[in-house]
Amino acid sequence: MAERGYAGTSISAITRDCGLPASSIYWHFSNKQGLLAAVMERAAERWLSQFRADSKQRALGDRTLGGMLARAAPEIGAPPTEFLRLLILLALERRDGDSETLETIRRVRLRALELIREAIFETFRSAGEGDAGRIADTCSVFVLTFGEGLFVGQQIDPGIDMNGLTRQLEQAVLALGREQLQSSSSQAGSARETGA
């Protein structure tokens, strides 16, 4: 489904790939739609648990945005992100009665957002937890959005400069963060002055 879309993936194609006859598939899943739901649930689950495992290792390593992006860059377009294609494909396909799929997609997306948020927070931690938190809030969607763009761009043109772009993204977030720090400190300054 991640390759051909929902309609383009026939049950018989699945039987060819998994060996079981179609009727056996229907013993395990109620529907083609039900199969899709199960696939998405499992993909999300697997992705999440993998990142949880990573996080423990990361405890010793680089937990900033830069480190995260450096780890993510080579994976985009590679097998571990095939799952992303399924998500985006299904998000773009407007099938008829299918709010459940979009729901799952949103759930997974929120999980990604949290991960990004933590990385940004870590990056700006030295500026104080309050500011770091605010910057993380402001910029996490920005990073996620760019990441999705990266994926799509890589699908269209596999030869894009993934490392260059992720480096630019890091720079951009650093700059956005700094600007936010300045404006907040100047606000604080003016607030102090006003308070005086």
Partner DNA sequence: CATGAATGAGGCTTCATTCAT
Partner DNA sequence: AATGAATGAAGCCTCATTCAT
Q: Residues in the site for a copy of itself, rule: CB under 8 A?
A: 3-8, 85, 88-89, 91-95, 102, 105-106, 109, 138-139, 141-142, 144-150, 152-153, 155-157, 160-161, 165, 168-169, 171-173, 175-176, 179
- Look at the block and give the residue holding tokens 């985009």: 76
Return the number of the residue (33 or 184) whose C-beta is nearest DNA. 33
Return the number of the residue (33 or 138) whose C-beta is nearest DNA. 33
SS3 138: helix
Q: Which does 11 bind (CB under 5 to 8 A by kind): a copy of itself, DNA, none?
A: DNA
| Least gap, CB of 21 to a copy of itself (angstroms) | 11
Q: Which does 20 bind (CB under 5 to 8 A by kind): a copy of itself, DNA, none?
A: DNA
Compute the C-alpha angle 136/92/118, nearest 5°.
Answer: 15
Distances (CA, A) of 85 to 1, 2, 22: 9, 5, 25
CB atoms within 10 A of CB 57: 8
Return the number of the residue (23 or 126) whose C-beta is nearest DNA. 23
| Least gap, CB of 184 to DNA (angstroms) | 54
The answer for 128, left when phi > 0, alpha when psi is -120 to 50, beta otherwise, is left
Return the number of the residue (24 or 55) whose C-beta is nearest DNA. 24
Q: Which does 123 bind (CB under 5 to 8 A by kind): DNA, a copy of itself, none?
A: none
Determine the Cα–Cα distance for residues 159 and 80; give it in Å rounded to an integer.
Answer: 18
Return the number of the residue (24 or 187) whose C-beta is nearest DNA. 24
Q: Which does 24 bind (CB under 5 to 8 A by kind): DNA, a copy of itself, none?
A: DNA
Return the closest-CA partner of residue 142 out of 171, 101, 107: 171
Q: Which does 148 bind (CB under 5 to 8 A by kind): DNA, a copy of itself, none?
A: a copy of itself
- Look at the block and give the residue holding tokens 């959005």: 145
Return the closest-CA partner of residue 68 out of 155, 166, 159: 166
Determine the Cα–Cα distance for residues 122 and 101; give it in Å rounded to an integer.
Answer: 32
| Chain residues in the site for DNA (CB under 7 A) | 7, 9-13, 19-24, 26-28, 31-33
